[in-house]
Chains A and B, each alone.
Chain A
């Protein structure tokens, strides 16, 4: 059975990592539902958050293949109930349609959205939440004329306590040939 999984991949900041990741997914015919790339809490370590729909077996296999890549530090795979995640969306709506009554105002309030910018032509609304909530607000705004709509990829944190640093330290301990000074200790301590 296909399920939604969030893959959090920590890697060195190396050109071509994303290419290598997508090669692995393409070979297995897995589509990326959403993707976010940014620097992680550890300086110099990049975090890629990918949402994919596949079987638990397959996600385990591709995660191992990703972790095998030389520049990849650690890969975590989580089902949606194991993480706390958010997406962000921006809605550009015609301002004149907002003037008719306080419908929009109510929508913004009840959906915990906020207004970012108002100009004579348009108003930009921002909403953070799960995909379903974002889509729900979009459906409600559509009758009023949505000029533009964008949503981001997913950002997620895990419910587990163990942090990346602990994994990095473990990996480092496992290394038999200890260099005199490793960059990683400088980063962690």
Chain B
């Protein structure tokens, strides 16, 4: 007969392995993967995990957002600035479905986030139980991979696999749905990191012959242009890109998510591409005879009308995701590899060259854009405050050395256009998905991911109210983010389209707003409303100098437009510089 003590010991150890609950195993797996921060929101089905979190407060910091969407965006921003995967918890049913916008956002922008949702006990799955949703089915089109765990012993392997998939190749969000019984059940815990899956191979052998061909094409080009995307930042190829561009003398244009991958003051930098991008790179895409696209996917906002896109150019596409090659634009040479590896091998093969007259064409465009758009936007002499001047002032006051977070719309485009980025990975925005409401929670994630950096968020008055509840998170954790509301009392970008394409019929775009400064004060956040240009600089300085969080509600010209613009259906060379309604 066993004594009580023996039984107890057996309960703890089986085959020399520790017996722990599934909930504890989840947290231990995360610690093994180097996680120290989790964003999330509790609920019925995930309670065993939250209960265990109390025993791990020394190793795992949990940030309770005020809505699951906020947790998802914060986790994404955390991943974007820290280089580590973001972690996000939510309960079953509505908790899980509230994540979907955040998951889709991370998916379109290739950001590694591991989402862990709880599920009702396995016996109830499929019965329409309380707070049950088929989150696997719902999240399938917007995750890189997802999986359900119904047995506690499967937890370690599944989490290991999830981290491997999320962070390798073209990164992306993954979701693990863990039933409540699997969280409670015990298992013999052993963790082994995953680095191999036979059906998934992110390590593509280098296509050396294609790289040699690329070098020949580059060495013979007369008007080459580099289009650098998010892939440069993901693969950490900023230095390689710079070395390559400098050696081959090729001008560089970046995509929205590629911003900050190349120093904006560099002589070869030509600006950013796309619908509201800079004049030169858009216009001259159609003059280039060779386009070297690196880690970008020819999104429709970048290409404009595909039938009139880069028709004079041969195109080299360096891209890790094969499904992106020849998807939107037919390319002449594909290099299906990691950007950094390709550039490292390409640099020795290209000749030292310079294209003075070609680069001069960009400078002429810069001058045109400055005279027609930038000057009045960044240095207006009269009238209401403009978005561009606020952004440019922040850029100057911080020497371009802060993390810029944006919401979506005019505030985003102004930030992208007028902030002079100097540090790689210092721009956090919602690109592919264009999610309004991204800005505020993302600023929280960014600040927690890089506490030593100043984090400034530019948010419109519309988007701010979509996730305004996250002011509670800022209050709760004293997150010292600097929030700038570019307040024009309109859903600005939609209004701009209504003005330009819908005969100025302002259907549901004008907003009746609360006093944001009063609201911020209610959340214990110092705040100020700015109406006049004269107050702007001092107020910005005061905000930047303040220790804790700060909110500035800046009243902007009501009906300002973001220009230039490649209108929908137009070619990149048909850029609208002036618009008069």
Contacts and interface: CB of A to CB of B under 8 A. Distances in A.
Interface of A: 11-12, 15-16, 19-20, 23, 27, 60-61, 64-65, 67-68, 70-73, 168, 171-172, 174-179, 182-184
A177 B201 contact: no
Interface in B117-167: 136-137, 140-141, 144-146, 148, 165
B190 to A, nearest CB: 16
B200 to A, nearest CB: 5
A71 B326 CA distance: 23
B178 to A, nearest CB: 15
A16 B141 CA distance: 11
Interface in B272-308: none
A176 B200 contact: no
B307 to A, nearest CB: 15
A135 B385 CA distance: 74
B322 interface: yes
Interface of B: 136-137, 140-141, 144-146, 148, 165, 195-201, 203-205, 321-323, 325-327
B323 A68 contact: yes
A177 B197 CA distance: 10
Contacts of B321: 68
Given A20-B140, A174-B204, A73 B323 contact: no
A175 B199 contact: no
10 contacts: A20-B140, A23-B140, A60-B326, A64-B327, A68-B323, A73-B199, A171-B201, A174-B203, A174-B204, A175-B196
Given A64-B323, A64-B327, A175-B196, 4 more contacts: A171-B198, A171-B201, A174-B204, A177-B203
A172 B203 CA distance: 10
Given A61-B326, A175-B203, A182 B140 contact: no
A71 B141 contact: no
Contacts of B136: 16
Contacts of B137: 16, 19
Contacts of B203: 174-177
B199 A70 contact: yes
Contacts of B195: 177, 179
Contacts, number: 62
A12 B199 contact: yes
A42 to B, nearest CB: 11
B199 A182 contact: no
A19 B140 contact: yes
B198 A172 contact: yes
Contact of B198 (A23, A61, A177, A182): A182
Contacts of B145: 70-71
Contacts of B325: 64
Contacts of A19: 137, 140
Nearest to B204: A174
Contact of A183 (B198, B322, B323): B198
Contacts of A72: 199
Contacts of A177: 195-196, 203
A12 to B, nearest CB: 5
A61 B327 contact: yes
Contacts of A64: 322-323, 325, 327
Contact of A175 (B201, B322, B323): B201
A27 B327 CA distance: 14
B165 A70 contact: yes
Nearest to B141: A23
A179 B196 CA distance: 7
A1 to B, nearest CB: 17
Given A70-B145, A70-B165, A179-B195, A174 B140 contact: no
Contacts of B322: 64, 67-68
Nearest to A171: B201
The interface centre, meaning the residue of A64, A70, A72, A178 with most chain B CB atoms within 10 A of its CB, is: A70
A162 to B, nearest CB: 18
A7 to B, nearest CB: 15
Contacts of B148: 15
A187 to B, nearest CB: 9
A162 B198 CA distance: 19
A174 B336 CA distance: 13
A182 B326 contact: no
Q: Which of A20, A175, A182 has the most CB of B within 10 A?
A: A175
Nearest to A60: B326
Nearest to A180: B196
A20 B145 CA distance: 10
A61 B140 contact: no
Quick one: which of A73, A177, A183, A184 has the most chain B CB within 10 A? A177
Nearest to A66: B323
B198 A168 contact: yes
Contacts of A174: 201, 203-205
A169 to B, nearest CB: 10
A14 to B, nearest CB: 8
Nearest to A174: B205
Contacts of B199: 11-12, 70-73
